[in-house]
Structure 1
Amino acid sequence: MAHIIVVGNEKGGSGKSTTSMHVATALVRMGHRVGALDLDLRQRTFGRYIENRLAFCASQGLTLPCPDYRELPEADTETLKPGENVYDHRLSTVVAALEPVSDFILIDCPGSHTRLSQVAHSLADTLITPLNDSFIDFDLLARIEPESGKILGPSVYSEMVWSARQLRAQAGLKPIDWIVLRNRLGAQQMHNKAKMGEALASLARRIGFRVAPGFSERVIFRELFPRGLTLLDLKDVGVGNLNLSNVAARQELRDLVKELRLPGVTADF
């Protein structure tokens, strides 16, 4: 069975597609077979990222490691079983096709609550939730008392993950390993940064996730997307001397892959 990695958060702009592309490409570079799905059927940022990569390689005569990206197949509603949801059918069909040829299947979810996202979370062996280091994003995980910072209770996204965990337990599947990534961390030790760290640590113990550092705010991520490149491709496309920011970003990716604790994976790339 392929190990399924879901990248999810119901808020846009948290770095889901950047995280998805870098994790998927890192795994391929380490020799793993990686299937890839984008469940944001409208924006398709992850899918467009991979399409950009293939187009750039074709135009430059390059061969760069790339995940096996698949579109969700269309479904003939007349062939559905009684009561079967069409989106469930489309997702299960493509996952079944990828499983025999993949060590990992990475699924990027939309920044909104959809049926596809719900089902994908119930399939997750590993769940990665990128989170901007802001209490605006934190509000998707939990509600807090503004003066004391006391956690009042889980919020909408945490409740959805809890439902997915219950479905997996009922099916006899192993628990989801949930990692929350603190993305766009500032370099300085600011008061808000410290308070976010305390709040996440408290919530992690309460609802069961691990906290890991993600990617700092860097211009290079915006520059890589049009060519479909990742931090790991820079030397392959002629960037001989990496600047300090690029070196630091590559180390962040190594640390992230190591922290995911995926089966059979080391951060050697």
Structure 2
Amino acid sequence: MASVTVEQRAQVIVLGNEKGGSGKSTCAMHLIVGLLRDGYRVGAIDLDARQATLTAYLAAREAFAAGRGIALPLPRRAAVHRSNNDSRAAAEAEESERFAAAMGELGRSCDIVVIDCPGSDTFLSRLGHAQADTLVTPINDSFVDFAMLAKVDPENHEVVHPSIYSEMVWEARKRRFSRDRGRIDWIVMRNRLGASEARNKRDVGAALEALAKRIGFRTVKGFGERVIFRELYLQGLTLMDVKEAGLGIQMGMSHVAARAELRSLIGAIRRPPPKQQVSPPAA
């Protein structure tokens, strides 16, 4: 893999996995806004510029704030595009330069940089993973998504061996340690936990616990399945923006629970205290 030199002062949180539909971009959006509201200067890098989910969300957020004349917190942002060069070596060198430039700019001006990686194994995704201080991997709470982390025995659900993605994270950890003796804190976020299918939930949890001890990650409870996440995406909003955005949405118990899930995730991420003070977010 081509080397990349990044001038970096900010803490880096990477959202990564290799399976779509797990809530990775939803997690990235809410982390960014939650950290902004906690007083951090936040940078956002979209490494999946072709899909551009995070880029589209942030553009919609900026447009909504301008159209309504309200001040929503916004991150500094950058999108890193894949190279079109036919030569693999030249393409990787070009992508390395683009990534280093984005990280250099945001790393100097922000406290925390959140990187949203593509849901596939690409060179840019590997660059992003290797820069992480914290790697957050959202998965749906099922053995379908668990297969991204490891192969399990279908009879007893014991872990047979780690997956290709887990091996990629291991390589990223080695590159990170070799570069600056830094360590990647890996968090696996269990999304869409439900009250039903209790046996499957228990079996997935047991398999995750066994794998966590084997390859070194922590597990946290993620986000439930909520329609409002998809509705707010089109306007570039999160649950923390509902009151000041003036949408007229009544905050029910489901919304309160969703906010608690986000605060729990942010609380699980090791980070420095914010350098600026802000008023507490509106309830």
- Category of TM-score, reference length = shorter chain: over 0.9
Of 199, 205, 212, the match for 2:207: 199
Bigger drift between 234-243 and 214-223 goes to 234-243
Residue number in structure 2 paired with 1:250: 259
**Given that residues 244 and 282 in structure 2 are in contact (C-alpha distance below 8 angstroms), is that contact kept between their aligned partners in structure 1?**
no
Segments of 4+ in structure 1 off by > 3 A? 73-77, 81-84
Output the aligned Cα RMSD.
Answer: 2.3
**Structure 2 residue 272 is matched with structure 1 residue 259:** no
Distance in 1, matches of 2:262 and 2:184, equals: 22
Bigger drift between 164-173 and 198-207 goes to 164-173
1:115 deviation in Å? 0.4
Cα distance, 1:83–1:185 mapped onto 2, change above 3 Å: closer
**Structure 2 residue 187 is matched with structure 1 residue 179:** yes
1:88 deviation in Å? 1.0
State the SS of the aligned residue for 2:121. Answer: coil
Gaps spanning 5+ residues in structure 1: where?
Answer: none
Distance in 1, matches of 2:249 and 2:229, equals: 18
Deviations 1:157-193, CA, capped at 9 Å, x for gaps = 1000000011112123311000000001113361111
Deviations 1:181-209, CA, capped at 9 Å, x for gaps = 00011133611111011010110011000
Distance in 2, matches of 1:176 and 1:232, equals: 28
Of 97, 115, 119, the match for 2:123: 115
1:74 deviation in Å? 8.9
Distance in 2, matches of 1:30 and 1:12, equals: 29
State the SS of the aligned residue for 1:180. Answer: strand
**Given that residues 49 and 55 in structure 2 are in contact (C-alpha distance below 8 angstroms), is that contact kept between their aligned partners in structure 1?**
no
Distance in 1, matches of 2:31 and 2:16, equals: 14
Residue number in structure 2 paired with 1:131: 139
State the SS of the aligned residue for 1:185. Answer: coil
1:268 deviation in Å? 11
Cα distance, 1:192–1:82 mapped onto 2, change above 3 Å: closer
Deviations 1:123-181, CA, capped at 9 Å, x for gaps = 00000000011111111100111101111111011000000011112123311000000
Distance in 2, matches of 1:215 and 1:47, equals: 21
Q: Give the residue type in structure 2 aligned to 1:21.
A: M
1:95 deviation in Å? 0.4
Residue number in structure 1 paired with 2:155: 147
Deviations 1:184-237, CA, capped at 9 Å, x for gaps = 111336111110110101100110000000000011101100100001001112
Distance in 1, matches of 2:84 and 2:252, equals: 52
Of 19, 25, 37, the match for 1:11: 19
How many residues end up aligned between the 2 structures? Answer: 266
Gaps spanning 5+ residues in structure 2: where?
Answer: 1-8, 275-280
1:83 deviation in Å? 9.6
Distance in 2, matches of 1:82 and 1:56, equals: 39
- TM-score, normalising length: structure 2: 0.88
